[in-house]
Structure 1
Amino acid sequence: MVIEPVTADSVTSFTELGVDAKLIAPLRKLGAETAFPIQAATLPVSLSGRDVLGRGRTGSGKTIAFAIPLVTRVAAAPVARSARKPRGLVLVPTRELALQVQRTIDPLAAALGLKTMVVFGGVGYGNQTSALRSGVDIVIACPGRLEDLIARNDCDLGNIAVTVLDEADHMADLGFLPGVRRLLRATPANGQRLLFSATLDNGISVLVNDFLTNPAVHAVDDESSKVETMTHHVFAVNKDDRNQVVRELASGGARRLLFTRTKHGAKKWAAALTKNGIPAVDLHGNLSQGARERNLDAFSSGRASVLVATDIAARGIHVDDIELVVHLDPPTEHKAYLHRSGRTARAGAGGTVITLMLPEQADDVRKLMKQAGITAATTRITPGHPEIHKLAG
């Protein structure tokens, strides 16, 4: 498999890439004036109907790269919209990502007269069943709930013209591959498949070999590459100083994202920061879907300047203008570090990543940075240290 590297020289206009004129205005409203490298590289082949395997870090423009061919080819599919039988499918690992992806796809789909819906667990079946039975064109789904709906005879994938796998590596990490394979087998073998992922490791190669036909393979960057505009720092702190240092890092007007290992930690920190006058919300698996959506909306809109999240939520957060990511608890492995950190410096913007390190974590953090290929200056920090103000504002 030959991976074609994508460079900045590939950037061009959507019109030049053959994108339907009806999509240009909604693309502009989404902030997409010109194509990012992954879009410029993949659109000519994906719009022609060829399978695509695309690799690019978070913020590289993967969603628009698959949204354009998805809506274009579904709109041109010979089979009309019908009850229970969508014509386009996007599989994602988390509820948050499903909603984020729908927000990008929906205006493009509407421009071509298409209807979309999201499918995920944690909510009742009623609304999802009703939408499917009334007829939708594109379903953005988490694998587990979609399989449930198929088992209930509420959904049939026999008319799928285009299938997209987004964040495929994370679906593999979460153990979703068996379900993904069953869902792919339920789609027509001659349908188009587009697989986009931040990394292409062994779990993904199985899907590629079994379900993609002669795919065009493009990579925006190396699998473990760091965003050039992202700066990494390690703050060595004592346990007694940690709480005050966190409060100082969280203060300020810009959006900042704090990561913890546990759901309890996310809840505790969000409550503590809010109590200290810093508007903060949490995001983790124990929240109801309504609470998750409200909290993410509060962060996206700016009503809350701080989001405290667990690792699992990292994959579902697609919010621009996050200037600072803080690892309150260092992640246990380097891929999690890169995915967490990828929430900042999105779409070419700058960003700062800070890892807090207690004395007993020093060896683990050094190993983590080495595995991630990160060079980060370590600074011993106490409350009020000038480096906090310099990096966090």
Structure 2
Amino acid sequence: MPETNLADFNSLGLPKQVVARLEKTGLTTPTPIQEGAIPVALEGRDVMGLAQTGTGKTLAFGLPLIAQMLSYDERPSRRMVRGLVLAPTRELAGQIAASLRAQVEGTQFKVGLVVGGVGINPQIARLDKGTDILVATPGRLIDLMERKAMDLGSTDFLVLDEADQMLDLGFIHALRKIAQWLPEKRQTMLFSATMPKQMSEIASTYLDDPVKVQVNPPGKAADKIDQSIHFIAKAEKTSLLIELLDKHRDEAAIVFSRTKHGSERLMKALVRAGYAAASVHGNKSQGQRERAIKAFRGGETLVLVATDVAARGLDIPQVRHVYNYDLPNVPENYIHRIGRTARAGMDGSAIAFCSPDEVDELKAIQKVMKITIPVASGRPWEGVEAKPGTGGFGNRRRGGGGGGGKPKAGAEGAGKAGGKPSGQRRGGKPGGRPGGKPGGGAGGGKPGGNRRGGRRGAPKT
């Protein structure tokens, strides 16, 4: 075994005290995104960093901020914010703040956190004393700025973390408003795991001749994630989920549902089935969300049912399984969801369910990732490619393949390639189910408009 490469962090140009603190927190070797971004950021250049979730993006921008602020002779004055980090969700903002605080422990550095869902007056009081690095969600930041609780006129650094999700959640208008309060002369860094087309607009608007640091191709998931998909009727999803969860009752799992009400209903169904489950979604207060995540992190609950508020910002290494109970409307969110497992060098599984009205979502996910997700059970719906021999659908309980494992051959399974599927689809021939194809007819249509458009206006943060 080679010796630890503590010198690797030294070679990036970080001050000795920063490297020493990294050693105390057990970090000795930079990740690829840190190795690529830190030297460029220390030069004062704008940075566009693209890397998978769980690859150390927070320290890739956080360490250069801390290192450059060490040269300041004075503490920040009242209401001053020297560095601003914007994050799309409360959970991600909290995780960033905790990570940065661990690197400045024992110093005079102040890392502040402002998010919605909690009282605003204590935040105003803390901001009045000045802040070195402020981590914020856009909605609460605007509320505080309109109350003149802080001054961004002397802010030297702006970081946009998970910028692609800000686009998805409608934060682009909030970002434009916040930018009006910031000085033109500043260093700006943008980090993301995916690269949608609109990202170039953000980069050209807010970054000045940025250096692009790309570790993995956009849309690529971690290599250690074992992905699979079950084609199943919507009404049977809950029973299949319970069946699969029963195979690993002692291992942590996150289940993603598309809606807040759906998440809550599913969580209650799992509790009735005997699982220690909790839920995290936008209808929960910040305190409720934090308590649910704390219980999950501590092992008191082993199943966390969540909407996409938990798709980013949850760094819990013991998560071994991620279930996409509902496929996301935005294909990039699938990548972020499954990125909650296989963290810190571990492996994990990502199991997705696809009902007939989710075919478009699955097509979009596979197109973005440039893969065909292996089929665990069921027969692919129309227009979704699958590998030969992964086959037969119908009523899952009549032999559509085992839950979670490889489909079995013979009477109990899907049959070998070329054989007939075990069981018949409801509705007979392909295309014959009630309502016609997804999006057409009375039974399965989606609302009109842009599928990625999301809600109007910025959501609560």
TM-score surpassing 0.5?
yes
Q: Which amino acid aligns with 2:35?
A: A
Per-residue CA distance 1:141-176 (angstroms, 9 max, x = gap)? 111211221111111102212111101111111121
Residue in structure 1 matched with residue 98 of structure 2 by the alignment: 103
Contact residue 256 and residue 323 of structure 2 kept, 8 A: yes
Query: Of 364, 369, 373, which aligns to 1:372?
Result: 369
Query: How big is the shift at 1:203?
Result: 2.5
TM-score (norm 2): 0.76
TM-score (norm 1): 0.89
Residue in structure 2 matched with residue 119 of structure 1 by the alignment: 114
Residue in structure 1 matched with residue 318 of structure 2 by the alignment: 321
| Compared CA separation, residues 81 and 130, structure 1 to 2 (3 A) | same
Residue in structure 2 matched with residue 195 of structure 1 by the alignment: 190
- The aligned runs of 1:1-393 (5 Å cut-off) are 13-28=8-23, 30-77=25-72, 80-238=75-233, 241-251=236-246, 252-358=249-355, 361=358, 365-366=362-363, 368-380=365-377, 382=396, 387-388=403-404
Q: Which amino acid aligns with 1:128?
A: Q
Q: Please identify, of 114-123 and 350-359, the stretch whose mean Cα deviation from structure 2 is larger.
A: 350-359
| Compared CA separation, residues 129 and 240, structure 1 to 2 (3 A) | closer
Structure 1, unpaired ranges of 5+: 1-9
| Compared CA separation, residues 169 and 362, structure 1 to 2 (3 A) | closer
Query: How big is the shift at 1:265?
Result: 1.7
Contact residue 181 and residue 207 of structure 1 kept, 8 A: no
| Compared CA separation, residues 212 and 238, structure 1 to 2 (3 A) | closer
| Compared CA separation, residues 302 and 390, structure 1 to 2 (3 A) | farther
Query: How big is the shift at 1:366?
Result: 4.8
| Compared CA separation, residues 114 and 327, structure 1 to 2 (3 A) | same
Per-residue CA distance 1:324-373 (angstroms, 9 max, x = gap)? 11111122342122221222223443221111233564575355434432
SS at match of 1:137: strand
Per-residue CA distance 1:60-107 (angstroms, 9 max, x = gap)? 211111110112222323553111111111011111111011110112
Q: Please identify, of 327-336 and 83-92, the stretch whose mean Cα deviation from structure 2 is larger.
A: 327-336
Post-superposition, which runs of at least 4 consecutive aligned residues in structure 1 deviate over 6 A? none
How many residue pairs get aligned? The number is 382
Q: Please identify, of 264-273 and 84-93, the stretch whose mean Cα deviation from structure 2 is larger.
A: 264-273
SS at match of 2:9: coil
Structure 1 Cα separation of the partners of residues 33 and 256 of structure 2:
28
Structure 2 Cα separation of the partners of residues 34 and 390 of structure 1:
38
Per-residue CA distance 1:104-134 (angstroms, 9 max, x = gap)? 0112133542011111222221111000112
Per-residue CA distance 1:261-292 (angstroms, 9 max, x = gap)? 11112112222223333211111000001001
Q: Which amino acid aligns with 1:342?
A: G
Contact residue 66 and residue 194 of structure 1 kept, 8 A: yes
Contact residue 38 and residue 54 of structure 1 kept, 8 A: yes
| Compared CA separation, residues 390 and 317, structure 1 to 2 (3 A) | farther
Per-residue CA distance 1:224-258 (angstroms, 9 max, x = gap)? 12322222101233556533321232342222111
| Compared CA separation, residues 320 and 29, structure 1 to 2 (3 A) | farther
Q: Which amino acid aligns with 2:188?
A: R
Structure 2 Cα separation of the partners of residues 64 and 390 of structure 1:
39
Structure 2, unpaired ranges of 5+: 379-395, 408-461
SS at match of 2:198: helix
**Higher Cα Rg: structure 1 or 2?**
2
Query: How big is the shift at 1:29?
Result: 5.5
| Compared CA separation, residues 352 and 180, structure 1 to 2 (3 A) | same
Q: What is the root-mean-square deviation of aligned Cα atoms in Å?
A: 2.6
| Compared CA separation, residues 29 and 171, structure 1 to 2 (3 A) | farther
Structure 1 Cα separation of the partners of residues 157 and 285 of structure 2:
31
Q: Please identify, of 370-379 and 288-297, the stretch whose mean Cα deviation from structure 2 is larger.
A: 370-379
Structure 1 Cα separation of the partners of residues 205 and 361 of structure 2:
37
